Amino acid sequence: MSTSSTMTQATIERRAFVADLLKACPQALVITGLGSPTYDVFAAGDSANHFYLWGAMGGTTAMGLGLALAQPERPVLIVTGDGEQLMGMGSLATAAAQQPQNLSIVVLDNGHFGETGMQRSHTSLGTRLAEVAKACGVSHAQEVFAHDELPALAQRINARSGMLLAQVHIRQDEIPRVLPSRDGVYLKNRFREALGFAS
């Protein structure tokens, strides 16, 4: 299936998918990428186990790698978009070289840069992120085309049985923004306290 036809056939509604994924992975430490992933995770219910990375585009995989290595007994779940992950290709290769068993990256891919005007992203122009992840050495990389694939994905995330990247093909919906706090110090301190560290 070509990348362009995949985008036009995408049926997954991202906010419902994210809500159900979080519900199925209650022990996960969650890091969100710029824009829509942050809005969707927050809309599903705020938690001290969620760290909203806000404007640090390209930084989720690097942060997730560090967290996964520091917290090997917890599943670490990155929820990000195609644009953010495209910017963080180098850190994807670095994470794959480290192979943290508990690191999962869920890329919500609509083939567009949603935060800057819906310009087409590289994933609508031929880049297949799941294949890139495989080439980097990610233990398990897959494309997700339907909501009913979520239970198996969540099971793999919870099992912490190998680094995972799931490229989730979502519809190009415009969904109202639901914004968490933008106070970086507060978010950092809250997350540290949830992990048992002093703020």
Residue-wise pLDDT tens digits, 186-198: 999 999 999 999 8
Mean per-residue pLDDT over the chain, rounded: 89
How many degrees, rounded to 5, is the angle at CA 142 between CA 27 and CA 39?
A: 50
Q: Is the pLDDT reported for residue 81 higher than 70?
A: yes
49 against 8, higher pLDDT? 49
Phi, psi of 113 (to 5 degrees): -90, 90
**Which pLDDT belongs to residue 10?**
82
Tell me what pLDDT residue 2 has. Answer: 46
- Does residue 128 have a pLDDT over 50? yes
Of 6-15, 85-94, 96-105, 165-174, highest mean pLDDT? 96-105
Can you read off the two tokens belonging to residue 4? 């362009």
Element (H, E) at 144: strand 140-144
Is there a contact between 77 and 95 (Cβ–Cβ < 8 Å)? no
pLDDT (0 to 100) of residue 176? 87
- Residue-wise pLDDT for 34-46, tens only, equals 888 999 999 999 9
Q: Look at the block and give the residue holding tokens 């186990």.
A: 49
What was the pLDDT predicted at 1?
47
pLDDT at residue 100 is higher than 80: yes
Q: How many CB atoms lie within 10 A of CB 152?
A: 11
Any idea how long the chain is?
199
CB 68 within 8 A of CB 78: no
Flag whether the pTM goes above 0.85.
yes
pLDDT attached to residue 50: 98
Is residue 120 scored above 70 in pLDDT? no
Query: What count of Cα atoms within 13 Å lies in the side-chain half-sphere of residue 63?
Result: 23
pLDDT (mean) for 115-123: 60
What are the structural domains of the chain? 3-194 (3.40.50.970)
Which of 121, 80, 72 has the alpha carbon at shortest distance from 99? 72
H helix intervals, the chain: 3-9, 14-24, 36-43, 60-70, 82-87, 89-98, 129-136, 150-159, 184-194
